[in-house]
Homo-oligomer: A and B are copies of this chain.
Amino acid sequence: MSRWAPDARLRLVRAALELCTDQGYDTTTVAEIADRAGLTKTTFFRYFPDKREVLFAGQGEHARILAEAVAAAPADATPIGAVAAAVSALAACFTDRNREFGRMLVALIDANDELKERAAYKHSCLAAATATALEERDVPPATAGLAAELGIRAFHEAFTRWIEPGTELSLVALTKASLKRLRTAAALLDTPHAG
């Protein structure tokens, strides 16, 4: 096995997604993932604490992109404007590989409660990172929390559409549309509905 593997992290993610898709998440082992990636278990554990974390490898990087984009938004941006810039920045980083991996990951999450929990936690971590960056711009905590939640929700909704076969719009365009839809929805919170 290769001792020098500059793309080890990516190979481990791909191996984990493919193996879990083929044979199920519960039965897949770290040894099998390392083996499929052409790496050792020791190398695996240099990158990830367990097989579950491989599947959520992007979380730290995504949180960083969101926080940096919020910080870089114009000084006169509204909270939701800063969040719109942040989720657009995140969406712009996603490639065809993210789309391919995303399809596998979403199917795995849908089939497994442990992964559903982890996905819910990822959502709350990304929202918290975004909210913290907003608070550093002196947005009051409650507003920061809601703006961040709206942004992550919009991104998630857009991502779910983006990975559907046949979707032609870019993830950036879909994210903008989702955020707009959510802002319209927020305006209806106090409107009686036909029942």
Contacts and interface: CB of A to CB of B under 8 A. Distances in A.
Classify the interface of chain A: helix, strand, loop or mixed: helix
Contact of A195 (B75, B120, B121, B147): B75
With most chain B CB atoms within 10 A of its CB, the pick from A79, A137, A193 is A193
A41 interface: no
Contact of A150 (B117, B118, B189): B189
Interface of A: 75-81, 116-118, 120-121, 123-124, 137-140, 142-143, 145-147, 149-150, 153, 181-186, 188-195
A191 B118 contact: no
A148 B184 CA distance: 16
Contacts of A189: 78-80, 143, 146-147, 150, 183, 186
25 contacts: A75-B195, A76-B192, A77-B192, A78-B189, A78-B191, A78-B193, A79-B189, A79-B190, A80-B189, A116-B121, A117-B120, A120-B120, A120-B121, A120-B124, A140-B188, A140-B193, A142-B184, A143-B186, A143-B189, A145-B153, A146-B153, A146-B182, A149-B153, A150-B189, A183-B189
Contact of A185 (B81, B138, B140, B181): B140
Contacts of A77: 192
Contacts of A116: 121
The 9 tightest CB contacts between A and B, nearest first, are A142-B185, A117-B121, A143-B185, A120-B121, A120-B120, A120-B124, A80-B189, A143-B188, A117-B117
Given A146-B182, A181-B142, A185-B146, A190 B78 contact: yes
Given A117-B117, A182-B146, A185-B143, A190 B80 contact: yes
User: In the complex, which of the residues A120, A138, A140 has the most CB atoms of chain B within 10 Å of its own CB atom?
Assistant: A120
A139 B190 CA distance: 11
